[in-house]
Amino acid sequence: MATTPAQRRLADALTALKRLQDDGKTAIKSSDLTRMQRESLVKNGFLRPIVKGWYMPCRPGEETGDSTPWYAAMRDFIQGYCTERFGEQWYVSAEYSLFLHSGKTITPQQVVIHSPLGQNGLLKLPDNCSILDYKAKDFVPAAKIQMVERIRVLTLPVALVRVPEAFFTTYAQDAHIALHQLRDASDLNRELLEGGHSIVAGRLVGALRASGREELAVNVLATMRAAGYVVNETNPFSVAPPTLAFTRAQSPYVLRMRLMWQAMRETVSGCFPPEPGIPSDIEKFMDAVEENYKTDAYHSLSIEGYRVTPELIQKVATGDWNPDSNDSDAEMKNAMAAHGYWLAHNEVKTTIRSILTGANPGAVFRQDHASWYRKLFSPNVDAGFLKPADLAGYRTDKVFIRGATHVPPSQDAVRDMMPELCDLLEAEPSAAVRAVLGHFLFVYIHPYFDGNGRLGRFLMNAMLASGGYPWTVIRIEQRSDYMAALEAASSLGEIKPFAEFIASSMNR
């Protein structure tokens, strides 16, 4: 069939857009595309304006109010827009600098930019966000600025000195993590001495001591007093920070996971009935798992957007499905998803059997979860929808969660976070906590390009089984409640709605 001129223009525009995205761009400048390419992409729903001269990629058919494209593009836009306006003469506020140093995945609705070229102007952005460009009279030298997540931030010691005292109460977890990023006291001492910050020094000494960084607190206090300053120690935290069992600086993402687990576990535990315990009749328990397979597969795949029928699931499970039949691409992909789910489900059953016969649940998950992923997507490789390299393992680029303000951490952070998740699962005594926080943090990390929701629910059920709880189905009819509860945990740190949702689904 011959293509129309409009179709050829769109194909050319999509090719140009793909090149930009392959280069890592999630915010597109007008000059990155020709006028014809830009107009074709906007008309067909592949681009949406941010402000004049800037666009964000999106999908045709997305609702206008869907914030996913914006939060996917937000940091890239801040970097591109500010660099275009101010060159290298800009950096974000001390508060946002500490957010980025501490691995926070949420960008604040208003980002304050400091620049000698600023005009104290407010730029309104999508989803009630904004940029305030503050005209900086005391612009810091280049040595005190660094790049984090492609954003120009104040170095950690400078940000800690400049951040207001209220930060330690309003954003206690972020402050706690930031203090644990200090490798030693040298640069912090230098910043305090250069500015004569005796009052700030007293605050930071108290904060370091409260956070368990006793050695650094003593060092800062002694250095300031040796230089002739009177330092009165004060603790800016309104609540004592939880203990972190690390003596040296760690990945901020690892610290954040450890703190979230400590803060959330009691809430989760309180939402569940007592553990039934490892069943005496393991075969009967495993039979019940298998009986739930068809219902679970239908709902789990439907939540991810696959159109899978119970009949197709039955064919796959009994071996009656023919992969060589002449189905359409969409039908074939649905069938591949169903086949992969069946293969992965069988792997999860092997994991559960190991747990029920005495293995540590976290240790078995550490060993087995890569196999779950390979089984989930191996049919897509066999059918040619994916390349063999797609089975290699964790993702190698950024990903975004539809409808969420939480942006999963970088691909490099995944390599720190997944071992930490396994450590937390291994050390946790409560099966309910392992199930809820394991599922939540797995999706929070989003370690794979695809399949994270399905794998997270497999993890949840393997951990529920470790306490004798039954296989639990998250139903498609409750998808909006399920996603909202996950978003509350990821973006607001509120785990109770998610724990209650899982507990009620289990009881049902």
Binding site residues for ATP, as ranges?
Answer: 450-457
Locate all alpha helices (DSSP H) within 52-171, ordered by sequence.
68-86, 94-101, 156-162, 167-170
Annotated binding residues: 450-457
Contact between 453 and 443 (Cβ < 8 Å): yes
Give me 507's structure tokens. Answer: 């009881």
DSSP H/E element including 217: helix 214-226
434: left (phi over 0), alpha (psi -120 to 50) or beta: alpha
Give me 414's structure tokens. Answer: 């995944």
Contact between 301 and 312 (Cβ < 8 Å): no
d(CA 295, CA 158): 55
446 annotated active-site: yes
d(CA 441, CA 422): 11
Give me 170's structure tokens. Answer: 């309003």
Q: Which of 480, 466, 470 is nearest to 433 (CA)?
A: 466
HSE-CB of 124 using CA atoms within 13 angstroms? 2
CA 167 to each of CA 101, 176, 207, 241: distance values in angstroms, whole numbers, following the listed order: 14, 10, 11, 14
d(CA 92, CA 104): 15
Give me 273's structure tokens. Answer: 């009935």
DSSP H/E element including 154: strand 151-154
- DSSP letter for 397, please: S
- 18: helix, coil or strand? helix
Catalytic residue among 114, 197, 406, 446: 446
- 242: helix, coil or strand? coil
Q: Characterize 127-150 residue by residue with b for buried, 16 or more Cβ atoms within 10 angstroms of its Cβ, and e for exposed.
A: eebebebeebeebeeeebbbebbe
Contact between 32 and 56 (Cβ < 8 Å): no
Write out the catalytic residue numbers.
Answer: 446
